[in-house]
Amino acid sequence: MANWVSRLFGINKAVGDLMPTTFGPFNMLMNNLPVYQADGVGELLQAFKRSDIVYSIVTKKAKAGSRAPFGVYRIKSNKRLREYKENVGKVDLSDLIVLKNEAIEVIENHLLADKFANPNPNQSGSEYTELCLTYLNLTGNVFENVIRKGQDNSGDVLQMYVLPTDRMQIKTDGRYPVNPTGYKLSFTLDIDFEDNAVIHSKSVNPLWNPDGSHLYGLSPLGAAWNLIEGDNEGWNAVWQIKKNRGAKKIASIQNDKINDYAEGLEMMTALKDEFNKRNADFKDKVMPIWGDVKVSDVGLNAADLAALQASQMTFDRLCNVFSVPVEWFNTDKQSKYDNLSQFNKQAILNGVLPDMNKLRDSRNNWARSNK
């Protein structure tokens, strides 16, 4: 800032001042400002409630991940740990357990192990993890507030809370490379968090932006949003058909004696009464009508109804977005019972474990930076 002031008033115009002078005002204006997420996170969360397909996929992934407890371990051999990671899903479970035992030692009574199992008074460990994974799959982000002893938030971990992703903003330093300096929660009164009070796990976001919006993870639903909207429109059409018990029809009778609306209303009422009586008398028979009748369909045509069959394709494509096989669910796909274990394995390895690894790595990275 001093270099920028000197530059403005013509003081100390040295060549060495050019670089800090160029970035000086940018740092001052952008530093610590909250960055808004580009995607409509609120809409993504609404999709969880309004789309049964999204709900089914995300919930099943999150529940599967919540069954795997987080813990604290000590690395005994980096070589064995690398071999263990490389062989996940490639070797038998018994061989994998041997590699794991040779690579790490689980610390049973560590404080963090208890906090992972009992993060706060309102949630169990499995519920907490399920919420983390739900946010990650819906929005591409998870923000965990870590409450520690001491005014500087540097003591033992006391409690952990999952923050609402759609209300979180990241504050940055405003210069390259853009780094987070803190977080803001939109509340009745906005709440600011220091950088060391929040663990941020996120999906990869290659859409780099100087304003720092790339610090938010990219939501998988963002790529499939048009797909979800189209599927919802199709099911809304089905609901309308069921509600009306079929497509509506308009029956019109040509008559040159109707001169105004009153006469037309009188004839319409008379025809309605006559049709109701005749419908009872001629049920499952041909009903005679005296006059030239024209019938028009009002509703979905055959092409519209055929488009509804694309719902299965929507489900298939959404499963691809979330990296799980469609056979993992109760669908019309042909799958034998002896193949279900293979589909379950694919879903865990390709869909659930990568999500768990994001949480693990972000927590480890936070712990190393905030010892």
Note the pLDDT tens digit of each residue in 252-265: 666 666 677 777 77
Residue type, 259: N
Between 237 and 139, the higher pLDDT residue: 139
DSSP 8-state symbol, 126: H
Encode pLDDT of 299-333 as tens digits: 555 555 555 555 667 788 888 888 999 888 876 66
Between 149 and 242, the higher pLDDT residue: 149
Q: Are residues 162 and 116 in contact, defined by beta-carbon separation less than 8 angstroms?
A: no
Identify the band that residue 63 occupies on the pLDDT scale cut at 50, 70 and 90: very high
d(CA 45, CA 49): 7
What pLDDT, on the 0 to 100 scale, is given for residue 28? 43
Q: Are residues 297 and 304 in contact, defined by beta-carbon separation less than 8 angstroms?
A: no
Q: Are residues 183 and 193 in contact, defined by beta-carbon separation less than 8 angstroms?
A: yes
Q: Are residues 182 and 192 in contact, defined by beta-carbon separation less than 8 angstroms?
A: yes
d(CA 136, CA 359): 9
Q: Which residues contact 39 (CB under 8 A, 6 or more apart)?
A: 139, 216, 218, 219, 222
Cβ atoms < 10 Å from Cβ of 8: 11
Between 26 and 245, the higher pLDDT residue: 245
Encode pLDDT of 102-134 as tens digits: 787 878 777 788 888 899 999 999 999 999 999
Q: Are residues 294 and 251 in contact, defined by beta-carbon separation less than 8 angstroms?
A: yes
Encode pLDDT of 207-222 as tens digits: 888 888 889 998 888 7
Cα 28 to Cα 5, 14, 31, 129, distances in angstroms: 12, 21, 6, 39
Q: Is pLDDT above 50 for 2?
A: no
Cβ atoms < 10 Å from Cβ of 34: 16
Strand-pair partners of 199: 144
Between 341 and 169, the higher pLDDT residue: 169
